[in-house]
Structure 1
Amino acid sequence: MTGPIAPSDTALTPLLARETERFEREHPASVAHAARARESLLGGVPMSWMLRWASPVPLVLREARGATVTDIDGHTYADLCLGDTGAMTGHGPAPIVEAITDRYARGATAMLPTEDAAWVGTELTRRFGVDRWQFTVSATDANRFALRMARAITGRPKVLVFSYCYHGTVDEAFITLEDGRPAVREGNVGPAFDVRETTRAVEFNDLDALERELRHEDVAVVLTEPALTNIGIVLPEPGFHDELRRLCTETGTLLLIDETHTLSAGPGGCTQAWGLDPDIVVVGKAIAGGVPTGAFGMRAELAARMLADRDADIEDVGGVGGTLAGNALSMAAARAALGEVLTDDAYAHTIALAGRFADGVRDVLARHGVPWHVTQLGARAEYRFSAEPPRDGGASAAIGHEGLEQFLHLHALNRGVLITPFHNMALMSPATAEADVDRHTAAFDDALGEIAATLG
């Protein structure tokens, strides 16, 4: 198919109609459940982003095991979504199941520390290099609490982020650049304040703009993923992270690396794999095998300054805690996940599989003459609708194609493959097999063939 990079929505209409009809015919239980769920759940789902699955109604989960999920209609899928990183360990690995079962029987949450928590903190220091850790219920909370502490430590009011970044539901991150000017990110629900008052924004990989904004010396902390992941994978250009570190040091700005999604790069995320030197690190989702958990760690000297601040109520009502944070159940799960599942050997397996996925997609694209690119980040890989990878979030946003993504996702789902909603992204777990990857390659080949036939 040596045609347009992205076919028109009109060309896709009959293909989407056929795939929608097939889904509804083959998933009567999920369709019926959706009708019932709308009577009690907002939008018919327990969390609104579940409405973004490409299917006319979401699949309803019966069970998930290893690298597969099974819906209530009895269909089993190769799961290359893996809870958008939350199940990067695979579903229900034995060490985590055993740890959770044992811990829950002995108490799940008591507002008391366990020995597991200190073990996890030591392991996170080994992997990421920063010295003192705190636990949360999510990576969003970890980012939020870390930003508060960064402002307290530096005495500065602002945060700097990169346009089209993603750091959960952190209010300060809902900002983009439009025609080079900061703007509230489109779709932001009921913003608590004008984010332009709290946040400076620049494009990823734009070192000149980064230096210009940091020279104001009112930024407490740069909050960034080491590579953008939620607007397509956007990798840093050579030297970007060295300059980011230098500029933060020169301007007295803290550097926070959010490894929530980039933990796919290796056991210590990009921080370890690329030799990064952050002041603060945030992790989440994957470190406890699906049990809600997040964590942030900081250099020892920053932790000492935070503990010495008598005006900061970090123990009670200062806005940096929660009764479920660091609970016994999540710490037991994290110890099992980090100690026995997300090991060096596991990463060797998952990174090789992501390479197989990327190679399979590239082969299909070449065979059909389609000028799209594929980017790999450790155990994660994604294809996007341009010949060359974009260098920043704005450029990546511009190459999106909602109709094409919907068709490719729904087509794959109808052939037993799940990839991450919102993205053309696949993630590998220790339980993922070559056959799971090849199943996607075959479905992707078939989908491009059908697009080519429609375009004539």
Structure 2
Amino acid sequence: MTVSLPAESVSGASPSRVSALRAEAEALYLGTRPRTRAAAAATTHLYDGVPMHWMSDWSTPVPLIVQEARGARLTDVDGHGYEDFCLGDTAALFGHSPPALVEALARQMPQGLATMLPTPDAGAVGDLLARRFGLPRWQIATTASDANRFALRAARAATGRPRILVFDGAYHGAVDETFVELSAAGTPGNKASLLGEPRDLTTLTRIIPFNDVAALEEALADRTVACVITEPALTNCAMVLPTPGFHAALREITRRTGTLLLIDETHTLSTAPGGYAALHGLEPDLLVVGKAIAGGVPTAVWGMSEETARRFRQAKQRAADGHSGIGTTLSGSPLQLAALRATLEQVATEAAYAHMNALADRLETGLTAVIDRAGLPWHIARCGARVEVVRAPQPCRTGAEARLAHFPALEAAIHLALLVRGVLISPFHDMMLCSPATTAAQVDRLVAATGEVIDRLAD
């Protein structure tokens, strides 16, 4: 059924056309995917009918059931193919099941999956991480959420300080203390969407706007903040890039106030082999990378500078024996080490990034032309192989500005309309990734499909 949308729910598009496009795409989706509908109906004992509840947040009327993911292409159980630019929301940044990764896993699986002990791959992985990212001491976790938790705990132990600082609009996985935001009036508080959290997280978490050097100075002045945790660019609202000089100021102020700097590269690994921090010389004290670092095998890594590691080691020596709150049984498994080594040595190569960025150039150019032709007040934001349509005329500078560029009804209609045209982008905001397996023909198909959808929407 077509639902009328208020004018404020869209940006430069006709509300009636948005509703009509969504209704048409839903009908086409349901009418051409009987096996998908049957499979979705058979998930009686899964909450919301999916293995993880946010899978039901996609634009599809029933979840898309994937039969196969290979390279940069998905196939559903009805045989429909999709050019995949979502790539598991970065988890498959280097394509689905790269052959070198598959071969490494096939070698390791008969030899053990979980031993709570290192394998011969461990030393090689440590060396590869140190060379690539520039920090000398590394640990393995299972998710970036875990790695961020562990790194924050290590930062507090190393500094003896209680607080952390985050930027409004940032994303650090499921780390409880980072689920804070600034209200429209600039008041800090727990995120309105956060469930089951009885604490006021702002007791120990300070939050300020991204790119605001004056606010940073003020927030760190009392020297009670152990660590600033940040993405190099905000990536989970509408993309917010750092303004010139911001990262230099961030590093100078944190050093001057004795505050550790934790860079979370989980999404910005799209920038370069060593991530945004290595490419731009950010010199963090701690670094976290998850999702794609092992080719999609559940793995994350966190690294420390020599000085941070030394101070953390001293804190451990002073502590009583027992649980440190850092580490899980599956962290550092033989499977993770094999996947990390294969990805770092053979998959996430300089040549792979050159290919990814060349295609991202092509995608950025094509989408910019589509937007300009339609005369829409949107722009393209870019972080290496990560390309995003932002529904604002100028680049966003803060999380607050990014939230104003978020139009859920419009985004859902575009996502579903592209999907039924055989193209998949991120369902949560219009993010697209180019992988080593992506082709120029796939990029051109995405640009053409986007042009067709936008032509249907614009006044």
TM-score bracket for the superposition, by shorter chain length: over 0.9
Distance 1:84 1:271 in 2: 20
Identity, in percent, stands at: 49
- 2:63 maps to 58
- 1:378 maps to 384
Q: Does 1:133 align with 2:138?
A: yes
- 1:121 maps to 126
Distance 1:316 1:9 in 2: 59
Amino acid aligned to 2:399: G
Q: Does 1:142 align with 2:147?
A: yes
Distance 1:118 1:225 in 2: 28
- 1:325 maps to 331
SS of corresponding position for 1:412: helix
Of the candidates 307, 313, 323, which is equivalent to residue 307 of structure 1? 313
- 1:83 maps to 88
Distance 1:293 1:286 in 2: 8
TM-score by length of 1: 0.96
SS of corresponding position for 2:229: strand
Of the candidates 283, 289, 314, which is equivalent to residue 277 of structure 1? 283
Q: Does 1:188 align with 2:176?
A: no
Amino acid aligned to 2:313: L
SS of corresponding position for 2:42: helix
TM-score by length of 2: 0.96
Q: Give the number of equivalent residue pairs.
A: 448
Amino acid aligned to 1:245: R
- 1:172 maps to 177
- Where in structure 1 do 4 or more consecutive aligned residues deviate above 2 Å? 4-11, 308-313
- 1:48 maps to 53
Distance 1:219 1:431 in 2: 43
Task: Specify every segment of 5 or more residues in structure 2 that has no aligned partner in the other structure, as ranges.
Answer: 1-9
Distance 2:322 2:329 in 1: 10
Q: Does 1:230 align with 2:205?
A: no
Shift of 1:194: 1.2
Contact in 2 for aligned 1:9/1:403 (Cα 8 Å): no
Matches within 5 A, 1:22-37: 22-37=28-43
Contact in 1 for aligned 2:72/2:437 (Cα 8 Å): yes
- 2:418 maps to 412
Instruction: Give CA-to-partner distance per residue, 1:309-350, whole Å, 9 cap, x none.
Output: 22436x851110111001000110110011001000100000
Distance 1:250 1:439 in 2: 50
Contact in 2 for aligned 1:355/1:376 (Cα 8 Å): no
Task: Specify every segment of 5 or more residues in structure 1 that has no aligned partner in the other structure, as ranges.
Answer: none
Distance 2:391 2:256 in 1: 38
Distance 1:231 1:382 in 2: 10
Q: Does 1:158 align with 2:163?
A: yes
Amino acid aligned to 1:115: P
Distance 2:57 2:206 in 1: 29
SS of corresponding position for 1:77: strand
Distance 1:229 1:120 in 2: 27
- 2:5 maps to none
Distance 1:163 1:312 in 2: 34
Shift of 1:376: 1.1
Distance 2:228 2:314 in 1: 23
Shift of 1:192: 4.9
